[in-house]
Amino acid sequence: MDVLLQALLNGILIGGILICLTVGFQLTFGVLHVIDFAVGGWVMLGGYAAYWASRLLGVDPFISVFFVFVLFAGVGCALGPLIYHVRTSRYARPDLMALAFTFGIFIMMRGGALWLWSFDSRSVDSVLSGASLSIGPVTVPLLRLSAFGMALLLGLGLFVLLYRTRFGMAVRAVAQNRDHAGLMGVDVKRVSAYVYGIYTGITASAGVLLATIYSVNPEVGVRYTLFAFFVAVLAGLGSVGGVLVAGLVLGLVESLVGTYVGTRYSLLVVFATLYLVLLISPKGILQRGI
């Protein structure tokens, strides 16, 4: 029983991190129709930003995470119009061009990080590192709990932004039909740029948390890109609400298998889950994707 409780808790905490990682990616897909290969790259750069903030300025990652959000949101807003331009090009297959474009960005991020900071793994220390809470029989690592809290906050924040504001209504309209949103007076290009900025901000913040929990090196991007793809497919491509469920499901699957079957089987089961979802319910577990 205690083991089960601990496994469930671990699963939920991992799920929170997966949600952080994917929610912005999913929003970008829904609004810009771009599968951003660079998602792992933003995670990696966010991690390095936290590392240097901690190393050079002595700022704890749980404080620098807010500055990282603002910084990367700014970078994303600046890059957004370029992505939009590629995606809406009048020439052949802009969908594939956008994929190739973001793949190129990803390669540059990885190469740049290798060149600047070498292959060494860097760990980011926080006051919360190593600390944990004991609630009855289960141990709660504070770092992961905070990351989970962050995921909840992001989920709630996005919900409020999307469903309670004028900007959110414009975003949802653009996600349904770009031309029709424009005909209502929505500046589609600007909305798309802001959405890309929100995405890069959230994803880089997730990178701060991930670098604090694990560590960061220039190669981590590939793994996180794959994870984001997995959660997105499970959630149904483009469905932001689905990410909250899919992230938790995937986290629980990984943790339960790791506890009862063996850690080396957890990725296998995660892949098998995805295979089954694609086979049985290709629109995702909530049937809300594209």
Give the footprint of other proteins on this chain (CB under 8 A).
90-91, 166, 169-170, 172-173, 176-177, 179-189
DSSP code for 134:
E
Which residue number, 163 or 260, has a Cβ lying nearer to other proteins? 163
Closest approach of other proteins to the CB of residue 165, in Å: 11
Q: How many CB atoms lie within 10 A of CB 157?
A: 13
CA neighbor of 41 nearest in space, from 228, 247, 282, 186: 228
Closest approach of other proteins to the CB of residue 236, in Å: 14
Closest approach of other proteins to the CB of residue 231, in Å: 22
Supply φ then ψ for residue 132, to 5 degrees.
-150, 160
Closest approach of other proteins to the CB of residue 191, in Å: 10
What is the length of the chain? 290
Which residue number, 109 or 170, has a Cβ lying nearer to other proteins? 170
Q: What Å distances lie between residue 159 and 49, 72, 106, 148, CA to CA?
A: 27, 21, 28, 17
Question: Does the CA dihedral 173-175-181-182 come out positive or negative?
Answer: positive
End-to-end CA distance of the chain: 40
Which residue number, 53 or 170, has a Cβ lying nearer to other proteins? 170
CA neighbor of 196 nearest in space, from 45, 88, 18, 36: 36
Closest approach of other proteins to the CB of residue 19, in Å: 22
Q: How many CB atoms lie within 10 A of CB 11?
A: 22
Closest approach of other proteins to the CB of residue 192, in Å: 12
Which residue number, 27 or 186, has a Cβ lying nearer to other proteins? 186
Which residue number, 122 or 288, has a Cβ lying nearer to other proteins? 288
| SS3 call for 216 | strand
Which residue number, 90 or 264, has a Cβ lying nearer to other proteins? 90
Closest approach of other proteins to the CB of residue 290, in Å: 13
Which residue number, 125 or 187, has a Cβ lying nearer to other proteins? 187
| CA distance linking residue 143 with residue 134, whole number of Å | 14
